[in-house]
Structure 1
Amino acid sequence: MPVTQEVDCGTAKLLPDVDRPRAVLLTVDGAPQSYVDLDEPTYLEFEYARRIAHVLDAAAEPGRPLDALHLGGGALALPRYLAATRPGSRQQVIEADRGLLGLVRRYLPLPADSGISVHAADARTALEAAPAASADVVVADVFGGSRVPAHLASAEYARAAGRVLRPGGCYVANLADSAPFAFLRGQLANFAAVFARLCLIAEPSMLRGRRFGNAILVASQEELPLADIARRVTADAFPARVEHGDRLRELIGDAQPVRDAEAVPSPEPPTGAFSVG
């Protein structure tokens, strides 16, 4: 049966998938947050989650454990994926909503040997407190409702992410915007000021400004496995494009890094863009 519970950030619902016996969709105030199949943790329903998973798959040789810091937890779909595909990985998950964490722990518990530790804290505070050079990957999927919070959208935040990563590590973030991409361009400018290499993964229709949608930002100090990532995302049911180099610089244009004092949340999605039920 569906489960409804008031959490810190609104009304959370766990909606069973009738086609998959132990799969559940998590929504908060009608916006999809996570989809988890307890029997098959490598199954990712959302396109943006699969694109992040492609980056994680390409981040190191297959099966090699990684040290990961996840900012934003939801139902822990991506930490579960990484634990299944890279056994032995050590993962720290930061989720600000204590009520949501309690709901997930009760109805969608983690295996005892998952290597995943979950902490109730603010993502920026936890990032700034994390030891330097302690993570192979930082995965950011933090939304207050349907918007990326302003304090996770500044140049200072980008520098904090860079400090936590080891040499060769990568930062991966789920962002959302639409043309003329004022928010997205500012985020790219923030990370271009800190990292030597960037790419952006998104559907062509979103990049052409035809609709509001998700875009995955990837940043590293070293060369990114662009060909591998491109091969993976173009093979999806909803193919995406990998923008980098000159095309990414054209998208950034004259955008400048955004300081904490000027940072704003990502734009409100159009009505119905991500809602369920």
Structure 2
Amino acid sequence: MSSTDLPPASRRSAQLSVSDQPAWIVKDEVDGGWVLQIGGVEQSHVDLADPTHIVHEYLRRMANVLDAAWPTRRPLRIAHLGAGALTLARYVQVTRPASQQVVIEIERELPTLVTSALPMPAGTELEIVIGDAREQLAAMGARRFEAIVVDVFSGESSPAHLATQDFYREALGQLEADGMLLVNVGDDAGQRFLARQVRELEDAAAEECLSGVWTLTHASLLTRPADGNMVLLAGGALSSPDIDEWRRAWMQAGPHPAAVLDPAETLEAFREIGGGRPR
């Protein structure tokens, strides 16, 4: 299917059973490609003609993290908690063919809608698991991943059982020793939920004897809090001797103006944002 051809109407929408929200695939008249809307709100953007074209800022930062932390074209074992329109999974397939990817999505209808209306790149190895992210990840037992992407958080409406130190410890435990957890957290201008997630992930990393939390975001969010997203990183990979090189690469890759905070800088920033660290 051409990226300029509108999918048939029967393949462009679905009613989601868990959230009871309508999901639509609509053409993006500004950036090109296609947009997944849920409940009338844009959730994901896909460019079928060029899956490396990532519009949403936080996903671009996540892609940049993967690009720097593992050798070019090396396949990855990666789990995505939260499907969206599978934007990052498409990127991984194109940049790292033969990667083994798993998506855990609670909305049964969403992956079918997305993959039928917006086909995945040829050769994609993608396992789709329907269910609660925490339960299904735990059910994988001894299975380990080099990267786990968590993209289920949106401020105070986020699933409470996922926004905890215990969940983060479980997710870190599913990583290879040199693996990485990438967490997207969206929040409103108060950023209190975001600050709590930094604290929970920091404590989980400490319990697992790992270095602390790195933060990637738009620089202005650190000085003038506003609605926005930050990407939090944790895991054994961040103890790499190449971490300074990765940090320079993440800064240079943007999107700009970019901020990349190491664990000490992350803790310092969140003492001022969203209520700091009350413990």
Query: Aligned match of 1:7 in 5, 12, 16?
Result: 16
Question: Which structure exhibits the higher relative contact order, with contacts defined as CA atoms closer than 8 Å and separated by 6 or more residues?
Answer: 1
Residues 146 and 233 of structure 1: CA distance in aligned 2, closer, same or farther (over 3 Å): farther
Q: Counterpart of 1:192? A: 202
Deviation per CA, 1:135-181: give whole Å up to 9, x if none. Answer: 00000111479943212110110111111001110000110224553
Q: Counterpart of 2:225? A: 210
Count of paired positions: 256
TM-score normalised by L of structure 1: 0.83
How do 1:226-245 residues align onto structure 2 when only pairs under 5 Å count? 226-245=244-263
Give 1:209 shift. Answer: 3.5
The worse-fitting range, judged by mean Cα deviation, of 248-257 and 83-92 is: 248-257
| Separation (CA, whole Å) in 2 of partners of 1:105 and 1:206 | 34
- Give the letter aligned to residue 243 of structure 1: L
Give 1:67 shift. Answer: 0.4
Residues 235 and 165 of structure 1: CA distance in aligned 2, closer, same or farther (over 3 Å): closer
Query: What SS does the corresponding residue of 1:62 show, helix, strand or coil?
Result: coil
Percent identical residues: 34
Query: Aligned match of 1:63 in 46, 58, 73?
Result: 73
Where structure 2 has 5 or more consecutive residues not aligned to the other structure, the ranges are 1-5
Residues 118 and 244 of structure 1: CA distance in aligned 2, closer, same or farther (over 3 Å): same
TM-score normalised by L of structure 2: 0.83
Query: Aligned match of 1:201 in 187, 204, 216?
Result: 216
- Give the letter aligned to residue 220 of structure 1: G
- Give the letter aligned to residue 223 of structure 1: S
Query: What SS does the corresponding residue of 1:39 show, helix, strand or coil?
Result: coil
Q: Counterpart of 1:104? A: 114
Deviation per CA, 1:68-93: give whole Å up to 9, x if none. Answer: 01100011000110011111110000
Matched, 1:34 2:34: no
The worse-fitting range, judged by mean Cα deviation, of 79-88 and 96-105 is: 96-105
Q: Counterpart of 1:255? A: 277
| Separation (CA, whole Å) in 2 of partners of 1:209 and 1:188 | 18
Query: What SS does the corresponding residue of 1:174 show, helix, strand or coil?
Result: strand
| Separation (CA, whole Å) in 1 of partners of 2:264 and 2:121 | 44
Deviation per CA, 1:220-268: give whole Å up to 9, x if none. Answer: 13425354244334443532201113221223446268xxxxxxxxxxx
Q: Counterpart of 2:3? A: none
CA contact (8 A) 1:148 1:175 kept: no
CA contact (8 A) 1:189 1:256 kept: no
> RMSD over aligned Cα, in angstroms?
2.4
| Separation (CA, whole Å) in 1 of partners of 2:172 and 2:253 | 30
